[in-house]
Structure formats: C-alpha cells, structure tokens
Chain A
Amino acid sequence: MIAQLNSISLYVICGSIVAFVAAVCIVFMVRAYKAGIAIGMDPAKLKRTLTSSVTFSVLPSIGILLGVIALSGSLGTPWPWLRLSVIGALHYETQVAQAAAEQVGLHTLSAAEMTPQAFATIALLMSVCIMWGMILSFFFNKGYLKKLGGQKKEKTDSKPGFGDMAMTAMFIGLVSTYIGSYIGGFVSGEGLFTFKGDLTPVIVALVSGLFMSGFIYLAEKKNMVWLESFSIAGSMLAGMIAAILL
C-alpha cells in the first residue's frame, strides 16, 4: 500500500496543487511589490520585508518538514507534503489524520493497516476539516475589511490610531497565552503545583527572548540595522540549541 501512496501519479497530483499555490504566491508578491513602488514606498524597506520573512520562515519550515517525515510513514510522502505546503498546520494534520483513521476502522494511523478507501477517506477529512478559513475568506474577506475600514475612518476623525493598537494588543494576547501555557505546563503539568512538568519550553522561550534583546540592542544602539532581518531566526536558533543542550 505504501508503494501506491508514494507513486508517481500521486506526486503529480499533489505537486500540481503545490505548484499552483506557489504561482499564486508569486503573483501576489509581484503585485504587492509593484504597488509598493507605485505609492512611493522605499524599495529598500520592501526588500528588507522579503529578506526578513524568508529568514524568519526557514526554521519553522524545517519543523514542518519534520511533520511531513512523521506522516510519510503512514500516509506516504506526497499527501503530507501537499497538506503541509498548502492550507495545513503542523499541529492539525496528525490530530485529524488520527481521528479519521479511527472513523474508518483503523486501530492506529499506520501503513500496515491502510487500505485505498481508508486513505481516500482520511485525505478527504483532512481537507474538509480545515477548509473553512478559505471559505470564509472567499465570502467575507472583502465585506469584513470594508466594514472595519469604515469603522476606522469614522473613528479616525476623532481619535486616530486605535486600530493599530488593537492589532498589537491582540498579538500580545496571543503570545501571552502561549507563554502562560508553558509556565502552567511546568508548574502544574504533572499535578497541581508539583513543579514537575516540562521546563524546557520555558527555558527555550527565555533564551530566545534573551537573544532577541541582544539583537535589538545591536540593531538600535550599535546601528547594525541589517541584523533585524535575522533577529527572529537567530533568536529561535539559540532557543532551539538550548533545548538540545538541556
């Protein structure tokens, strides 16, 4: 079965979808770059955005590649490659694939038990469960942004700047939730206030934050602005090395 799941025809099907999405990204990127130039944005700033986004994404992408490798043992390589290149999320795929496997009567998500129908059903469920963001975007992206833009315009007349502050606040909420979960995991992960849970994520976050402070110091105080493009990737690498050394 695993040989069928790694066949050339599956690579062609999955590869075509990945290639289509890559083409969409290129079209959006070129349009945005041209628009930036047309409205007078600094080309250096646009290029720095591209560099920083590429360097930022390399390490998480290697983590995602590990997800492909992890799933390739049971689902073959082409399907996990497609799922994690397009729409998918690392934390989502395994969970849904496992749940789908249970529904089709497999004891566990494994190549040994896999049948063609089980695979097709698992693949369908993996697609359907996570497609809602795309559907909502299709129907409501324009209207939702227009509505928010209208509200912003009304408010701009009196007190400018809350929209931007709200986005920063939302992100602070997001980061706080994850940092809180690492601390909570250590303190009560193995029983309330036992302090026997996993300390590694807390240390990793601390090391990563410490390196980030160093990068920001060098960029802001020592005029090494070019470091900004590598600050997140460098800090993450330091944090990950700390996890390996622990």
Chain B
Amino acid sequence: MDKNTYLEQYDRTTHVLGRAASLITLVMLVGAPFLIGFLLGALPDLSAAVKGFLSVGIIWTVSSVVEFLVYTPMLGAGGGYLAFITGNLINMKIPCAMNAREIAGTQAGTPENEIISTLSIAASSLTTITVLAVGVLLLVPLQPILQSEALQPGFANVVPALFGAMAYQYFRRNIRLAVVPLTIMTLLFILVPSLISQTSLLILPSGAIAIGLAYLSWRKKGAES
C-alpha cells in the first residue's frame, strides 16, 4: 500500500474512532449524574439545571465554539478528538502539543504533525489519568503534603510558570510578531483590569492580531522572493 492510500485509510479510521469515542463518552458523562442520582434516591432537578445553564453554561458554550475553531487546526483529527474528550486544553494539552511539535520539528497540517499531535495529547492525557488515579489512591497520605501552606504558592502559579517557559520558546524566534499582541494585551489589562477575569475570551482577538501580522509578513516575504 502506498503512503497516500495508507494515510487516507488512517485518517478515515481516526474519524470513525474519534466520533464513536466522543459519542460514548458523552452518553456516559451525561448519563452518570442520572445513574448516581438513582443510586442516591433523587434524580437531578432539571429546571434548576436549565437555570444554571442559562447563567453560566452560555459563556462556556461560546468558549467551547471558540476553542473548537482555534484548536482543531493546531491539533489535527486524532489530537482534536482526544483533546476535547480529555479536557484541560489551555493549561496543558495545547502547550503540550505545541512543545512536541517544536521538538519534532513538524509543520501544521502535515500527516507527521497529525501523528505527533495525537501521540502528544494521548501521552499527556494518560499521564494526567495516572497521576490523578495514584493521587486519589494515596489521597489520605498525600493530602498533608500537597495541601501544605508552604507549597500552595507553587501550585497556584503552575500556569504562569508554563506560559513563561513557552513565551521564551516562541518569542525568541518570532519577537517581531510577538511585540504587538503582547503590548496591546498588556495595555488592555492595565487600562481595563476587570478584563483579567475574562482572559480566555481575549485569546481570540490577540491571536487574530498575531495571525494578521504573520500574514502581512508572509505576503511581504512572498513578494520579495
């Protein structure tokens, strides 16, 4: 079988498996509260659930649409299905896949990148599942250590630590591209500090600015060459 036929078959099976896994996970996740409610002797209060959804769920629905549109091209088919099933996208899966891509030197949209991304998301998800399973098993002895006052500032700053390292990794090669969104976002948060609680919603305009600048630079390079 030649490479293209193999990849077409691989891609087709990925979508079949991805859709089946998403559907089964969805049914189990929505079904679990009803099953648990049944065991506890009280089913969910659906009117309260609808009210709750209207108060907080709408924001997360919009956020999910944005995440799907932005991250699916970064992750490819296999990585995309897995990432949306396993969650923790911004704080782990996306940076993890980008780091793997950087190390492997693959380009977005290529079959190699699809494979690296899938491997990365799967390994990352299995790590989280293992750490959490071990942690839950050892919850009693681990709790005093993990919850000790001294360690709390460290765990509270996992995300800044992650983005500090990733910022150096990406900015050093693209400093001209990074200056504008970084400056605009910094000024925006300084002048309108209430936006800090909505940081994730500002990723899209910031990314759009960076993509716009990248496009101008790409066109300029194309015109010169």
User: For the complex, what is the distance from the CA of A51 to the CA of B74, rounded to whole Å?
Assistant: 20
A60-B92, A65-B146 given; A96·B60 CB < 8 A: yes
Q: How large is the interface on A (under 10, 10 to 19, 20 to 34, 35 or more residues)?
A: 35 or more
> Cβ of A224 < 8 Å from any Cβ of B?
no
Are A239 and B218 interface neighbours, CB within 8 A? no
A28-B82, A89-B89, A167-B73 given; A125·B52 CB < 8 A: yes
Interface string of B129-151 (1 = CB under 8 A from A): 10111011001000100110011
Chain A residues whose C-beta falls within 8 Å of the C-beta of B68 in the assembled complex? 132-133, 136-137, 140, 144
For the complex formed, measure the closest distance between the CB of A29 and the CB atoms of chain B, giving whole angstroms. Answer: 4
How many residues does chain B have at the interface if contact means C-beta atoms less than 8 Å apart? 158
User: For the complex, what is the distance from the CA of A166 to the CA of B114, rounded to whole Å?
Assistant: 16
Interface string of A61-93 (1 = CB under 8 A from B): 111111011001000010101101111111110
Main secondary structure of the interface of B (DSSP, over half): helix
Identify A53's interface contact among B33, B64, B100, B174, CB under 8 A.
B100
Report the nearest B residue to A191, measured CB to CB: B193
User: For the complex, what is the distance from the CA of A84 to the CA of B108, rounded to whole Å?
Assistant: 28
For the complex formed, measure the closest distance between the CB of B24 and the CB atoms of chain A, giving whole angstroms. Answer: 7
Which residues of B (41-88) have their CB < 8 Å from a CB of A? Answer: 41-45, 48-49, 51-53, 55-57, 60-61, 64-65, 67-70, 72-74, 76-78, 80-82, 84-88
Which residues of A (114-165) have their CB < 8 Å from a CB of B? Answer: 115-121, 123-125, 127-138, 140-142, 144-145, 148-149, 152, 158-159, 161-165
Are A116 and B40 interface neighbours, CB within 8 A? yes
Which residues of A (194-210) have their CB < 8 Å from a CB of B? Answer: 197, 200-202, 204-210
A68-B136, A119-B40 given; A134·B26 CB < 8 A: yes
User: For the complex, what is the distance from the CA of A171 to the CA of B94, rounded to whole Å?
Assistant: 9
Chain A residues whose C-beta falls within 8 Å of the C-beta of B181 in the assembled complex? 172-173, 176-177
Are B174 and A168 interface neighbours, CB within 8 A? yes
Chain A residues whose C-beta falls within 8 Å of the C-beta of B200 in the assembled complex? 91
Which residues of B (85-135) have their CB < 8 Å from a CB of A? Answer: 85-92, 94-96, 98-100, 103-104, 107-109, 111-112, 114-116, 118-129, 131-133, 135
With A129-B56, A133-B67, A177-B203 given, can you name 7 additional A-B contacts, CB distance below 8 Å? A40-B3, A62-B146, A68-B136, A163-B108, A165-B218, A179-B164, A239-B160
